[in-house]
Amino acid sequence: FSPATGEKIAEIEPTPLSSIPLIYTKSRHSFQTWSKLSISERLHYLRQLRLLMVEKMDEIAEIISKDTGKLKIEALVADIMPTIDAIKHIEKHAIKSLSGKKVATPLMLIGKKSYIEYMPRGTVLVISPWNYPFQLAMVPILNALAAGNTVIAKPSEVTPLVGVCIENLFVKTGFPKDTIQFAHGGKELGAALTEQKPDYIFFTGSVRTGKIIGEVAAKHSIPTTLELGGKDPMIVLRDANLERAVNGALWGAFTNSGQVCMSVERVYVERPVYQEFLALLKEKTEAMRQGTNLKDDIGSMTFPGQVDIVAAHLEDALDKGAILEAGKLPKEWKTGGTHFIPPMILSNVDHSMRIMKEETFGPVLPVMPFDSEEEAVALANESEYGLNSSVWTIDKEKARRIASQLVTGAVTINDVLITVANHHLPFGGAKQSGVGRYHGEQGLKIFCHEKAIMVDNGHKNTEIQWYPYEGKYPTFLS
């Protein structure tokens, strides 16, 4: 059902649990041929897929928008374009990144040579969420394939149309049979897929599910990347460009209706500029347009369950004394009612409230004053999450000083979210926000065994460290 209109948009046959063993058998079988192709042969398929995506861009944006309720422009800019960009990056760098590389050999090993080889791991399981259902499935899938793995993908059951759209793109591109297979369904299917011992699990989703996957992975010694949730702080210092900071807060908190792992989820403003910041934020929030047209700023939320979480966080905050500064609650906004949640601003908040501690993942932005740099850093770090953060000041030295004290996977100075768009930067979380990093070179290498190889020319018949030991213990120690 479309979250924006409530109309039925598709009926998708779920993958039966009984078919999972066969999916794995096929994947392992096709690995034997796919992994033996040269990197450039594999890149040929990625290129074809990229060209198809460019050709079908508007169609894909339409499907993403229908399935998620997000605006088409957001589907284009934050789901499709980053995927195209990631493929281009892979096409440009994969050969260099994945080719073996020579390394130095210490003097005591004279006569030998050393190098590192990157060997695909085998079958990679990619499990993805619904908030950026295209990009967050595609980018790990494509990195894993480029590195020579075969992939089993389980897209989110919340956005099944996008899952099928991705599958069709691979089919139309003509990837060799079973190199990439799709399993459509919910958490039971996801759990059953992890139990089949893939050679790597790349998971993006909630902390709760990430912990379950982490346990299964530990039980079977499966290496994983876990890209999980966030509660990202924004720190606004008194010397910041306030209008820029407010504009950044608006987009950082409300794009995709706040359903962004790297969303601005709490703002701390230095007390002398707190009222001015709040007033401007309030004014600009009230001017935002909500709808599904190209002129609108914010679409509908995607997942009814998430609407309930937003409602619960808001209720808890209001009960504890928070003040709703902007935005009005729709009357029928619990599950079954509207998914259009207007952007809201809260003041008079503190860290006893769920809205300041737990991931809200909705368009509600709480704002709190602070009195010193130390206090701002302490408040920002007082969280179980550590995905992203931002610092706003025109004093570069102060910005860097604060940035380096924040326990998060990323910090932007005078901007929000945008580190994710640079492939030369790692992406991933600290604390409960995740384990591991991807994007760029690391995004390819995580899908490889990094193998150490040392070569001796094989002419001599003995080595100093080999037997016999007799006569080799230093006399000055004995």
By annotation, the residues acting in catalysis are 227, 261
The window from 70-78, 206-214, 281-289, 335-343 that contacts ligand NAD (CB under 6 A) reads: 206-214
Does the protein bind ligand NAD through residue 129 (CB under 6 A)?
yes
Among residues 162, 249, 261, 301, which is the contact residue for ligand NAD, using CB under 6 A?
261
Does the protein bind ligand NAD through residue 229 (CB under 6 A)?
yes
Smallest separation, CB 210 to ligand NAD (Å): 7
Which residues in 375-404 contact ligand NAD (CB under 6 A)?
387
Specify whether the CB–CB gap between 240 and 58 falls below 8 A.
Answer: no
Q: Is 68 or 204 the residue whose CB approaches ligand NAD more closely?
A: 204
Does the protein bind ligand NAD through residue 212 (CB under 6 A)?
yes
Q: Is 179 or 408 the residue whose CB approaches ligand NAD more closely?
A: 408
CA–CA distance, 342 with 367 (Å, rounded to integer)? 17
Among residues 228, 301, 353, 430, which is the contact residue for ligand NAD, using CB under 6 A?
228
Q: Are strands 232-236 and 390-392 parallel, antiparallel or unpaired?
A: parallel
Which amino acid, residue 95? I
Smallest separation, CB 218 to ligand NAD (Å): 14
Smallest separation, CB 273 to ligand NAD (Å): 30
Q: Write the DSSP assignment of 7-47 as a string of letters.
A: ------PPPPGGGHHHHHHHHHHHHHHHTTS-HHHHHHHHH
Smallest separation, CB 409 to ligand NAD (Å): 8
**Burial profile 71-110: b = 16 or more Cβ within 10 angstroms, e = fewer:** bbebbbebbbbbbbbbbebbbebbeebbeeeeeeeeeeee
Among residues 82, 120, 160, 190, which is the contact residue for ligand NAD, using CB under 6 A?
190
Among residues 227, 232, 265, 297, which is the contact residue for ligand NAD, using CB under 6 A?
227
Does the protein bind ligand NAD through residue 124 (CB under 6 A)?
no
Q: What is the DSSP letter of 262?
A: T
Question: H or E segment at 380?
Answer: helix 373-381
Both tokens of residue 230? 């966030």
Cα→Cα distances 431→225, 340, 388, 439, Å: 14, 32, 11, 19
Q: Is 52 or 216 the residue whose CB approaches ligand NAD more closely?
A: 216
Does the protein bind ligand NAD through residue 434 (CB under 6 A)?
yes
Both tokens of residue 189? 């299917």
Which residues in 17-36 contact ligand NAD (CB under 6 A)?
none
CA–CA distance, 264 with 244 (Å, rounded to integer)? 14
Taking CB atoms, the residue at the shortest distance from ligand NAD is 190
Q: How many CA atoms lie within 13 A of 294 on its CB side?
A: 4
Specify whether the CB–CB gap between 277 and 369 falls below 8 A.
Answer: no
Smallest separation, CB 236 to ligand NAD (Å): 23
Q: Is 70 or 154 the residue whose CB approaches ligand NAD more closely?
A: 154
Does the protein bind ligand NAD through residue 166 (CB under 6 A)?
no
Among residues 131, 255, 290, 300, which is the contact residue for ligand NAD, using CB under 6 A?
131
* DSSP bridge pairs for 226: 203, 435
* Binding residues with ligand NAD: total (CB under 6 A): 31
Among residues 191, 407, 413, 418, which is the contact residue for ligand NAD, using CB under 6 A?
191
Q: Is residue 251 exposed (0-12), middle (13-18) or buried (19+ Cβ within 10 Å)?
A: middle
Among residues 36, 177, 187, 334, which is the contact residue for ligand NAD, using CB under 6 A?
187
Cβ count within 10 A of residue 451: 11
Smallest separation, CB 166 to ligand NAD (Å): 13
Rg (the chain; Cα; Å): 25
Which residues in 141-160 contact ligand NAD (CB under 6 A)?
154, 156-157
Binding site for ligand NAD (CB under 6 A): 127-132, 136, 154, 156-157, 186-187, 190-191, 194, 204-206, 209, 212-213, 227-230, 261, 359, 361, 387, 429, 434
